[in-house]
Chains A and B, each alone.
Chain A
């Protein structure tokens, strides 16, 4: 991280990371993080086990960054433990158990598995750089994912790109997932000296990204959630293609990718709100939807800018304070602002706004880890108690180091002991 980055830190980031470390410690350890999920497409409250989804990417990146700067072996140990856990959670066809994030517990989550694997490969590249041996079975884990899952199962031989699933709609692909796959293949080719063999897959996937980029109109430069006509655009998900375009430009020297990256950057930049946060959805025939604003998605977009070499100090200065303002007493972060059509911002927040989720906070961790100035020490969080709305009813959300509960006068909506797979009660 260059010195410009540090201008956003006046000690508050160091403190925030320490508190976030404290909160993460209550949710599990480097062998896996538990917790309920509130996602873009739904919630998974009744299953709170260790997810092998994209919750790892910010953590792995954060640990790598911290180790690079501090050389503290704790971070390397965490990476080793994480890679071991991921290896043991993989099935023979390359998928990972419980990788569907908001739809857990299922395997084969998209774009969550590619996002996870891209982060694994970044970690492995770093380990090779510092001559740290890879944990046993990691190379096979990566190979299985690339060869069995991506190339054998998801590669569409007709469209020359990667599908999301093996069944049903073969004309459909998801650019955010394809972008992560491009990153995976570029890193995998480098690590295994197989650039020539993988070139057709990389080129095909890259072309499919370019093919669905909007060339004009209010969404010019954006990538939709799916290549199908009329598909919506999520600026934060579209931003996840920025690092892929940067890698492609770097690897092929093809100016088309730089141009595509520039256009995408302009679109995403315009989607940031001046007071903080990023619009959740941009549509073709209606105004952009501002609620709910996902806190973690904002951090994720800033990370995408950073990973693509498009770091912007001004943007960071406006967005970081907004992010930090959503850290709670427990050290975790609110998931969103404005569920229930934005009405939450005026009255009580919706319950989904306040549930802290590992798969979003990891993105904040990954971003903030790059901004810390001093070695971070873990800070234990305090209890949280907030009034919220659950389906029109006023309720109380409470969190401490050992539990998370949501209760109204008449109903025990959710009662979860941390680090356990299933809640004691769940009516959500």
Chain B
């Protein structure tokens, strides 16, 4: 009798032997976003698909179909149609498009067809890992029907996404996962798990929920830990808004000799990174404060991997359900907070905590998204009742404030506004429209002049401040 046969007979021992190998495979697997150019053989692809076909399927219908796209021009076409703007779609030597015929199960309340596809996709990902291949599933496809058409697939087969496969060219860090006890109940639902409910309305979230959301989301949405942006949004750092923020903080730094600086709710550490690269050596201490140890780990690991010319101290909120920055009163001379108040129904406790650690005469730069600005995604979202549009799905709860509301909150928290700006005022949009019209009419000199105004008009402290995309306050 072999060892394996022996374990078969001993119940739980079986689980620990082969089960451990399986768990190890699962733990090893992470989404790969950088691939080598080396091609993947058709045999390996076949083995992966074989694995996918072994998973359960609703009523054993097996109405799936997999198309492995390897031909460069076709791959390029599929990448374009997906409109996902991901480099790995271009880099991966193989894209496996996953189709399923859902026509018999469209009204199934448990979405069994979709679940079947999901299981087959996870088998593809695990089989890739088992063969030391890298893979990533991409479901955010704008035109799935277009992909089907491009690949000559009949219309009754629905595209459920793309699995990019290739030889790994990166070592992604392990993201934070929720512990099992947090997601497992026996017999009946454990009400303590309610805290993981997701909703875009801030009043439904506790601080603990928000902390958990940010802790997990960071690994998805955040800038790739090596400083490589590989996700849906372009790196927000390379924007006039961030340029404004960095340089305003620089102006503050210029007026205080080697200050202690704190960035509040640092998330992926973008602001702190800017401070390190632009003003290294000008700060006595630099702190990044956020809500969970997972976020602190992300920032630390990111900065270490990038080998930044300086470093920061990561601070974690000291209480589960209230803001408590682990610093003594009046410790900080310069503080920044970039579009974070929006996540909270009542940001006053956060502002009061910020006030507590700010030294007398210290300065705070606060940026808040403005409710009066016509952010188009909000209207699209309302019209389509589609909350995956816009920012909420990857930023969490969001509440936009009117300038008067923000100013009242700031006063209540004990701050004094010393300067106020508007970033990206709404009239720039009108100029943009005017420029397009002028170009069409051939009035290029006027268009050039307006384009120059747009270039110079990103920051305003005049009338249009109230109607700017972002409000910026300098406080003490």
Contact = CB atoms under 8 A, between A and B. Distances in A.
Name the 6 nearest CB pairs between A and B, nearest first.
A46-B247, A422-B250, A105-B278, A422-B254, A92-B307, A97-B277
A93 B243 CA distance: 21
Interface stretch (A53-61, A152-160, A186-194): A152-160
Interface string B217-248: 00000000011111100110110001110111
A340 B456 CA distance: 11
Contacts of A105: 243, 246-247, 274, 277-278
Nearest to B76: A158
Interface string B352-394: 0000000000000000000000000000000000000000000
Contacts of A104: 243, 278
A200 to B, nearest CB: 9
Contacts of B248: 46
A166 B251 contact: no
Most chain B CB within 10 A, of A44, A93, A166, A428, is at: A166
22 contacts: A44-B247, A46-B243, A92-B227, A98-B278, A106-B242, A158-B72, A166-B87, A166-B230, A167-B231, A167-B234, A168-B85, A170-B90, A286-B444, A340-B452, A421-B250, A421-B254, A422-B250, A422-B279, A423-B254, A424-B251, A424-B255, A426-B247
A135 to B, nearest CB: 17
A40 to B, nearest CB: 11
Interface in B6-51: 34, 37
A93 B227 contact: yes
Interface string B417-458: 000000000000000000000000010110011001001100
A93 B87 contact: no
A106 B37 CA distance: 30
Contacts of A168: 85, 234
Contact of B91 (A157, A171, A391): A157
A235 to B, nearest CB: 17
A42 interface: yes
A92 B456 CA distance: 34
Most chain B CB within 10 A, of A100, A157, A286, is at: A157
Contact of A158 (B75, B227, B244): B75
A103 interface: yes
Given A46-B247, A170-B79, 14 more contacts: A92-B226, A95-B227, A103-B243, A105-B243, A105-B274, A106-B242, A107-B277, A170-B87, A341-B449, A421-B254, A421-B282, A422-B247, A424-B254, A426-B251
B308 interface: yes
A207 interface: no
B305 A92 contact: yes
Contact of A391 (B72, B250, B456): B456
Interface string A102-121: 01111110000000000000
A28 to B, nearest CB: 15
Given A152-B34, A171-B80, A47 B250 contact: yes
B184 interface: no
Nearest to A100: B238
A420 interface: yes
Interface of A: 42, 44, 46-47, 49, 88-89, 91-93, 95, 97-98, 100, 103-108, 152-153, 156-158, 165-171, 283, 286, 289, 339-341, 391, 420-426, 428
Nearest to A426: B251
B246 A42 contact: no
Contact of B230 (A42, A167, A428): A167
Given A93-B227, A106-B237, A167-B230, A422 B90 contact: no
Interface size class of B (residues with CB under 8 A): 35 or more
A97 B309 contact: yes
A169 to B, nearest CB: 7
B90 A106 contact: no
B174 interface: no
Interface of B: 34, 37, 72, 75-76, 79-80, 85, 87, 90-91, 169, 226-231, 234-235, 237-238, 242-244, 246-248, 250-251, 253-255, 274, 277-279, 282, 305-309, 442, 444-445, 448-449, 452, 455-456
A93 B228 contact: yes
B389 to A, nearest CB: 18
Nearest to B238: A106
Contact of B238 (A103, A286, A420): A103
Nearest to A48: B250
B243 A91 contact: no
A166 B306 contact: no
A4 B345 CA distance: 74
B87 to A, nearest CB: 6
Contacts of B449: 340-341
Contacts of A166: 87, 228-230
Contacts of B85: 167-170
A158 B90 contact: yes
Nearest to B244: A46
B424 to A, nearest CB: 14
Contacts of B277: 97-98, 105, 107
Contact of A157 (B90, B278, B282): B90
A91 B276 CA distance: 12
A103 B455 CA distance: 12
A105 B306 CA distance: 17
A36 to B, nearest CB: 11
B220 to A, nearest CB: 15
Most chain A CB within 10 A, of B37, B85, B255, B448, is at: B448
Contacts of A283: 444
Most chain B CB within 10 A, of A97, A153, A422, is at: A422
B439 to A, nearest CB: 9
Contacts of B308: 91
Contacts of A107: 227, 277
A88 B244 CA distance: 26
Given A89-B309, A167-B234, A420 B91 contact: no
Contacts of B228: 93, 153, 166
Given A157-B91, A170-B87, A91 B238 contact: no
